Structures are given as C-alpha cells and as structure tokens.
Structure 1
C-alpha cells in the first residue's frame, strides 16, 4: 500500500500552518485595538460576506444545511466559534511563538480524541512522532534548562491555547467522517459557508458576552481593517479550505503533525515583524518537531476514519 501523503496532500496541509502563523502575528499586533472574541466574530463576518455570492444557494429551503443543522452547528462551534477566539485570547498574555509552540501538542490531542471518541487506532510511528513533538514543545518552554522546566508555570494564554487545540482536534475528526455532509462536501464553498453560518451564531453570542462583561473600546484604524480582511481571507477561507481537503486525504492523525510547522513559520515572521528573535533552544525544538513530522508521515495507509465511516 502506498502512503497517503502525496505531494498534493503535503501542499494542502502545509498552506494552513503558513497562514496560521501569520494569523498569530497579526493577532498579536492588534490585540490592544480589539478584544479577541470580537475580532474572531468580525473576521468570520467578513469571510461570510466574501463567500456569500458563491454559496448563497445553501440557504434555500430544500438545502441539506437545514437537515444536517445539528452537525454543522458542531463544526461551527468548534472550528469557527471556539478555536480562533481562544487563540486570539491566548495572544493577550502570551507571544506568538509560545502560542504556536503550545499548539504543537496537536498530534497528541488528535490521537487521544480519535482513540477515545472515534475509535481510531494509534500506530507506533505516530507515538514516536508525537513524543518528539512534545519534547520539542517542552524544550522551548523550559528555554533549554531543566530547572526552568521544573519551575515552569503556564500563563493563562498557554492554557487557553491548549483548550483551542483540543477543540480543533474534535473539529478535524468530525471533518474526517465520510458518512456526514455528503451533499454539501463536494462543493467546498457550500460546505465552508454552512460551517461559517452556524459559527457566526456561536461567535456572535460569545461576542455579546465579551462586550457585556468587559469594558473595551475598539480602536478603529486602517491597520485594524486591513488586519480583519487579511485574517478573513488567508487564515480563514484559504486555510480552512486547504485543511478540510488535506484531512480528507490524509486523515486527522497524520494531518495533526503538520500543525507543528506553524512555529517554524511564526518564528521567521516574528523576527521580521515583531523583532522577537529566536534563541538557540527554538532551533532544537524545531528540529525535534520536524523529526516528528517525518517519522509520523512515513507510516503506510491505515484506517483513520471513525468506525462507521467508509474509506476514501
């Protein structure tokens, strides 16, 4: 059997980390100007407006959007309503490099969620790859010194990013279920619009709660408007499209390792834009993360879909 990681799949799964690294940088640049949950809502509202001319037929009365509303509500909550809102909130107290490195625990959460909730098997290559990735994350959080690791205290942003990673793991496994969303899935604009529509309801509700609980005035500027448009087109529409297609081809367990490319891109952008130059321990951590990706992707084709799903 041949590997599921064709060149096309590798490209699909590499594009999202590139865009998500830029998302973390932009979120850090404007975190003083707009509260995180509100930013997430406006981002997806902009994406909705961009996609509407291409996907408006899904709102017709006979669309499967309404028949499968419960399933799209789950996707909208996990992928649209929670993941990036938690990431933007994490950036309030943690830097882009640390946030994306904490998210490098994605392979572990992806495997655990698959095993416990979707009946997926875990292969030895995945365990080795995940172990290397986690060692890389711990290495950078400890700054390369054991005493730092023993005295390590996660800041609020790091904990929020862990929660975001778990939400994304559930989202990815739902995407991989071949028995769901059969009618809209072939038209990616329809499929993504269905998720955004329900996601806007969730994020809108969360935004009302945020603006009610905190005193925060949005500082409007051309910089903020440009940032919202960018995160709506790149890290939202393009990244979600590529991720969904990549997960369908490779499965969530393998795709999860590509999230670990995000810190690589984030470090480069941080150095160029924020002046946050990487240290030597970042290089060691990145080497471990890349090794984890290589080892995990060398496995042969396995069944990563849920028990009741048909193979691709």
Structure 2
C-alpha cells in the first residue's frame, strides 16, 4: 500500500516522455519538409509518409486490427473522421502551408494547439478550462510571443494565406486530439493507429494522383526516399503511438500543452541544420514555455494523487 503513490508518481513521467518524443519528431518533420519542399510536392510527401508508415506498422497492428474488427464497424464513423483529421488532413495542410511560409512560422503557430484543444473541448464536450489550465496556456503563450517578437512584446508578424492554412491545420489536429478520447478503450492503442493510418492513406491517394497529373510528380531520389522514411517511421508511426498513448494517460488539455515544445525543438533544429543561432530571447521564451508545461503537470499530478489522500 505504501508503494502505490511512488509507483503512480514514477509512471506519471512515462506519458510526459512520450509526448516529448512525439513533439520532437514533428518539429523535425516540419524542418525537413521545408528543406525539401522545393523538390518534393506537399501531397506527394504526405501520401508517401503515410504509405511508409502503413507498411512499417502493419506487422504490429494487423492482429489487433483483426481482433477489434467488430468494434471498428460499430464505431466506423468516428474512426473515419479521426483518419480524415489526424492523418489525411492535418499533415497535408502543414505541408501545403510550408510551400509559401517559413518553417519557423509554422512551428511557432503550433503553440496555438493547447488553446484550440480547450476551445474544441468546450464546444464539443462542454468541458470548461480550469484556472490552472488557463494559467499554463498563458504562461507558455508568453514564451511563444517572446520568440515571435524577438524579445519585444510588439510584433509585425503578419498572418498570410499560408499561415491561415497552418492555423486551420492546427484546428484540425486539436479536434482529432479531443475526439480520439471518445473511442472505447478496446480500440485505443495499436488498433486505432492501424485503422487511421491505413484509411488515411486511402483518403490522401486521390489528391496525390490529382497533384501528380495536374501539378508535379513525386521524384524518386535519395532525398525523397530519405524524407519519406523519416516521416513515415518516426514522425508518423512512432510519434502517433507516443501521442495517442500520452492522450489516454493525461487527457487532451494537458497533453496539448506539449505542443509548445514544437517551436523549441524547431528552433534547435534550425540552428543545427540551417546555421541559425540562439539569442537571449530564445532562452527566455523557452523558459516560459517549459514553465507552462510544469504548471499543467502539477495540476495533473495533484488530480491523480487526491483520491488516495
């Protein structure tokens, strides 16, 4: 009995680690997608990303998918919607946005995810934000604002069409993060990962074909193969499993806070890959972002420990 609180506390770090791995993978995905977008069309990258993910995941998800087939049919509409939002929609919109905006803008805009998750929860599930959730979001948002404005709280950061596409993509992702929790427990984990990835590939296919015929075909090159493998294995299969598991353990509101880490990792990757250097305002901004995550985690752990007190 005395070991139970310690066991719960140690387990609480596991979903935190998973959410961090997911956001780090997605930050790398955005940075690399910007690096190659001059040569690789957005829907081509989106399709092959998820096609590779489906191939890699199939040996692991086939049996769970087969076992849960009757349950899948019962919740077909929700699974189709999750496939459209989380797989086909969000990533394609981000890649399209990167065609005409900086990757830095896209990774920073990802920090709107926690606020959008709370808004979606309010409108779809009638769940109001707690005071500490609001405080956590505002604290992290200050850090994002400091990074956007280069240390000044006045900015000329313009929202153009590409930024609006990215914001819409973030809203799509927030809706996915809320709705995935409505699944029955037996479908969560590997079954839903397999179903959404496979269905998402089918949904992207006609748009990929149209892009190839009307706009640009996906080239076969070492670069395209490498980016497809990275996005398919790490930014898709592994990252989505990590994110979905964290969602089930921590809930959408708390897990959504970790989207603030995408700008942090994005800036680091830009420094390493593009030669950009970190300034003082970057470190101050990151401190605020991490503080927001700490506030959100304190709220969650206090909630977990209260029943045993």
Q: Please state which band the TM-score falls in when normalised by the shorter chain.
A: 0.7 to 0.9
From 165, 172, 175, the equivalent of 1:160 is: 165
| More displaced 10-residue stretch of structure 1: 216-225 or 277-286 | 277-286
User: Following the alignment from structure 2 to structure 1, what is the Cα–Cα distance between the partners of residues 90 and 167?
Assistant: 10
User: Following the alignment from structure 1 to structure 2, what is the Cα–Cα distance between the partners of residues 270 and 22?
Assistant: 9
From 113, 126, 137, the equivalent of 1:130 is: 137
Structure 1 residue matching 2:186: 3-state secondary structure: coil
Q: Any idea what the Cα deviations from partners look like across 1:188-235, whole Å, max 9, x if unmatched? A: 3322111112212222233244445x5224332112101101110101
The ranges of structure 1 where at least 4 consecutive aligned residues each deviate by more than 6 angstroms after the TM superposition are 1-5
Q: Any idea what the Cα deviations from partners look like across 1:96-154, whole Å, max 9, x if unmatched? A: 3321111111111111111111122311111111112222223332333355x2x4311
Kept in 1, the 8 Å contact 2:49–2:228? The answer is yes
From 106, 112, 115, the equivalent of 2:119 is: 112
Structure 1 residue matching 2:277: 3-state secondary structure: coil
- The reply on whether 1:34 has 2:35 as its aligned counterpart is no
Aligned to 2:296: 296
User: Following the alignment from structure 2 to structure 1, what is the Cα–Cα distance between the partners of residues 296 and 69?
Assistant: 43
User: Following the alignment from structure 1 to structure 2, what is the Cα–Cα distance between the partners of residues 55 and 131?
Assistant: 39
1:36: Cα distance to partner? 1.0
Query: How many residues end up aligned between the 2 structures?
Result: 296
Q: Any idea what the Cα deviations from partners look like across 1:59-97, whole Å, max 9, x if unmatched? A: 689543333221110110110011111111222222233
1:7: Cα distance to partner? 1.2
Q: Structure 1: 5+ residue runs without aligned partners?
A: 304-312
- The reply on whether 1:145 has 2:158 as its aligned counterpart is no
- The reply on whether 1:176 has 2:220 as its aligned counterpart is no
**Change in 2 beyond 3 A, CA 1:152/1:223:** closer
- Report 1:203-222 matches (<5 A): 203-211=204-212, 214-222=214-222
Kept in 2, the 8 Å contact 1:5–1:250? The answer is no
From 81, 85, 91, the equivalent of 2:88 is: 81
Q: Any idea what the Cα deviations from partners look like across 1:154-178, whole Å, max 9, x if unmatched? A: 133322221121111111111222x
**Change in 2 beyond 3 A, CA 1:182/1:250:** closer
Q: Any idea what the Cα deviations from partners look like across 1:14-59, whole Å, max 9, x if unmatched? A: 1101111111121112111211122111110111111223333436
Q: Structure 2: 5+ residue runs without aligned partners?
A: 305-309
Kept in 2, the 8 Å contact 1:105–1:133? The answer is no
Kept in 2, the 8 Å contact 1:105–1:137? The answer is no
Kept in 2, the 8 Å contact 1:136–1:288? The answer is yes
From 93, 98, 115, the equivalent of 1:91 is: 98
**Change in 2 beyond 3 A, CA 1:245/1:47:** same
Structure 2 residue matching 1:257: 3-state secondary structure: helix
> What is the CA RMSD across the aligned residues, in angstroms?
2.4
From 38, 41, 45, the equivalent of 2:51 is: 45
1:3: Cα distance to partner? 7.6
Structure 2 residue matching 1:154: 3-state secondary structure: coil
- The reply on whether 1:20 has 2:23 as its aligned counterpart is no
User: Following the alignment from structure 2 to structure 1, what is the Cα–Cα distance between the partners of residues 252 and 272?
Assistant: 32
- The reply on whether 1:190 has 2:195 as its aligned counterpart is no
- The reply on whether 1:70 has 2:77 as its aligned counterpart is yes
**Change in 2 beyond 3 A, CA 1:81/1:15:** same
Structure 2 residue matching 1:159: 3-state secondary structure: helix
Instruction: State the TM-score, normalizing by the size of structure 2.
Output: 0.87
- The reply on whether 1:9 has 2:15 as its aligned counterpart is yes
Structure with more helix by fraction: 2
